Chain A
Amino acid sequence: MAQGVLEIDRVSKRYGEVVALDGMTFDVRAGELFGFVGSNGAGKTTTMRIALGVLTADSGEVRWNGEPITFEARRRIGYMPEERGLYPKMKVLDQLVYLAELHGLSTNAAHRSAEDWIARLGLRDRRHDEVQKLSLGNQQRVQLAAALVHEPDVLVLDEPFSGLDPVAVDVMSTVLREKAASGVPVVFSSHQLDLVERLCDRVGIVRSGTLVAAGSVDELRAGGESKLVVDAPLAPAGWADHLPGVRSAHTSSGRTVLEVTSDVDDQAVLRAALATGPVHEFSRQRPSLTELFRSVVTEESAA
């Protein structure tokens, strides 16, 4: 039986005429960081809310360890909603203790855990301040602590990096990696694709309420085209146009970017380049997640 796996299985949801989710399916495994990307309104937040049970799906199922998820299991999820929310007039420590208790911790355990996370996230001087008096960055840290304070079995974070300063981004990344390393499945959504690419084991791209691509960044790249960058300043224009496996070439100030098919013989291209004169750079450029994402989105508008 699948242990530590969160499965979203063919979940659909409509708001009146608007289809928010249409057969959304993916899974997040134990110890894995899963990045959830997609345009605004693609259905990321709705999916997370349904996973948390804050919203109910019209059809489909959310499973935890192979079983339909229960209310008790959901209580073991750490959740950071897209719309950040804490009691503005409650003190940081009180707030975290309260939330930990609501997730089933005893009062003592809640206190210990709250103090622990306050220390780890550098909020010690602020623990008796009202949340509304904190800076935005510190409020975000409290929000993260709120998601972690009950030592959750699963982490579901909606846009955890939005509005963070670079230091806080590092803190957040470290914490997420640690949680994943301890065997917790972590799923988060983000628009910062470079961050997702760097951090995540697997990525899911959502479009119009459906998951259109999922896998490690390398797997996602496999289907896409790759590029060769050649810096041969003396090469005449159109030098590479007729090489086998080259689809197109663009030259600007001596640098030529070649779009090539996956079975291209790059050594043949290098020889052709050397034949024109000196070559200062020869590299294979792999598409970034941003480019992959963009190509998925363009497919959408083409469809």
Chain B
Amino acid sequence: MSSLTPGRAVFLVSRREFLGKVRTKSFVWGTLVIVAVMAGYLLLQSVLFDDAERDRVALSGQATVLAEPLEQTARSFGREVETVDVSDPAAAEEQVRSGDVDASITGASDDLRVVVKDSLGEELRNSIDLLVKQQVLDAHFAEAGVDPAEVARNLERASVDVVALEPRDEQRGQRLVIGLVIAALLYYSLLVYGTMVAQGVVEEKSSRVVEILLATLRPWQLLLGKVVGLGAVGLLQLVVIGGIGLVLSSLSGVVDVAGVAGGALATGVLWYLLGFFLYATVFAAAASLVSRQEELQSVLTPISMSIVVAFVLGINLMISDPTGTTVTVLSLLPPFAPILMPGRMAMGVAPPWQVLLAIVLALLAVAAITWLGGKVYSNAVLRTGARVRLREVLR
């Protein structure tokens, strides 16, 4: 007669949970919708970036010779300028009015006139200003018998050395965005799949199937199988969404630090696992105290709240000062670490010792919670009817 090893027992339970969930329409559509929303957002972003970082300037009359110098000067200010030649200044003005171009430049090179719709962008104004001054300067040099080209070459060579005492990460903005996205993904996964574990526990309790299961499984095997199975569903979704997001954002050029984003996704997965075992076990233990789905919310709220607080508080602190004492301490503590630490890691502000400490603390917490949660679960899961008090099951 064949026997059932604990490993196979956990595998069977988790396989049922995994297949049962992955095959549902809600999972497939939910994932598709999230991916679609994300793709749409990235597309919008890349269009906006494109638009915002590039000016179209119409040149007419004598100003057409300024096309190249203008593009060069603007580039030195970090601005892309695209020039188009328009024969008639009136037509150019019409294009400005309709929004086809951002500005129209007419007139002699030392007496330029710029027509814009409402206001002229800072960088473009400086570029044009500089260009006009350059033209005036060149005229004076020519008068004084100096070669303007040589002056320009000499000028080119003259620059200051900048020594930064605390160099600022050029990619800080992007890192912040990646950190926030990872934190948001983890927040979503922990909350959604934690709740799913809780609902599964109550479903077994309210349908009484748990009594049949416990005649052949030990409570911890059932609990672990459930957490592993649903955790794998969440992991699958996290990796699919994160992976597609990473590919799309690299392709669309919204994020040019693909390395950072990829690393962030990897650490995100690690923290998802730690966070999920931590929260799902608590969710399951809490759910085992009640017998009906309607009562579930009352026991889950305190746990959900701590995730929400970790997210909202943490995000705000992370944006304002990612190295501050409060957010540093919070990111080390097990209940908050799974959301805050991967965010801080993506931002590159978490030293290795802090990461290690947070992981060790989280592992300890997982061990303690699994033991405690398992105890609560096995004592409470067969008691149907009135809500079970926590005090009774901990004895």
Contact = CB atoms under 8 A, between A and B. Distances in A.
Contacts of A88: 203, 207
Contact of A104 (B3, B204, B208): B3
A102 B214 contact: no
A54 B209 CA distance: 12
A106 B211 contact: no
A102 B214 CA distance: 10
Given A102-B9, A102-B12, A85 B217 contact: no
A104 B4 contact: yes
Interface in A63-109: 71-72, 74-77, 79, 81, 83-88, 90, 98-99, 101-106, 109
A87 B382 contact: no
Contacts of A85: 207-212
Contacts of A87: 203-204, 207, 209
B213 A104 contact: no
A74 B211 contact: no
A74 B382 contact: no
A99 B4 CA distance: 12
Contacts of B210: 85
B122 to A, nearest CB: 61
Interface in B161-210: 203-204, 207-210
Nearest to A99: B212
B215 interface: yes
A101 B8 CA distance: 9
A75 B207 contact: no
Q: Which of B12, B216, B384 has the most CB of A within 10 A?
A: B216
B284 to A, nearest CB: 17
A54 B217 contact: no
Given A55-B382, A85-B209, A104 B1 contact: yes
B16 interface: yes
A87 B209 CA distance: 6
Contacts of B12: 98, 101-102
B2 A109 contact: yes
Contacts of B208: 81, 83-85
B218 interface: yes
A104 B215 CA distance: 12
Interface string A29-58: 000000000000000000001001111000
A193 interface: no
B185 to A, nearest CB: 28
A146 interface: yes
Contacts of A98: 12, 16
B223 to A, nearest CB: 15
Nearest to A105: B2
A97 B213 CA distance: 13
A87 B214 CA distance: 14
Interface in A176-216: none
Q: Which of B4, B12, B209, B214 has the most CB of A within 10 A?
A: B209
Given A76-B1, A87-B207, A102-B4, A53 B215 contact: yes
Given A102-B12, A105-B2, A52 B215 contact: yes
A54 B4 CA distance: 18
A45 to B, nearest CB: 10
A76 B215 CA distance: 10
Nearest to B9: A102
Contact of A102 (B1, B211, B216, B384): B216
A83 B383 CA distance: 12
Contacts of A71: 218
B20 interface: yes
B63 to A, nearest CB: 73
A255 B9 CA distance: 66
A142 to B, nearest CB: 11
Given A83-B208, A85-B209, A102-B12, A75 B216 contact: yes
A118 to B, nearest CB: 17
Contact of A77 (B1, B2, B3, B215): B215
A84 B1 CA distance: 27
A99 B203 CA distance: 17
A76 B218 CA distance: 14
Interface in B275-289: none
Given A52-B215, A102-B12, A103-B216, A86 B4 contact: no
Contacts of A101: 12
A54 B382 contact: yes
A75 B3 CA distance: 9
Contacts of B207: 85-88
B3 A74 contact: no
Interface string B218-244: 100000000000000000000000000
Given A88-B207, A90-B20, A106 B215 contact: no
Nearest to A86: B209
A83 B384 contact: yes
Interface of B: 1-4, 9, 12-13, 16, 20, 203-204, 207-218, 382, 384
25 contacts: A54-B382, A71-B218, A72-B3, A74-B215, A74-B216, A75-B3, A75-B4, A79-B211, A81-B211, A81-B215, A83-B211, A83-B384, A84-B208, A85-B209, A85-B210, A86-B209, A87-B207, A88-B203, A90-B20, A99-B216, A102-B216, A102-B217, A105-B2, A106-B2, A109-B2
Given A74-B216, A104-B216, 13 more contacts: A54-B211, A54-B215, A54-B382, A75-B3, A75-B215, A85-B207, A87-B204, A98-B12, A98-B16, A102-B9, A102-B213, A104-B1, A106-B2
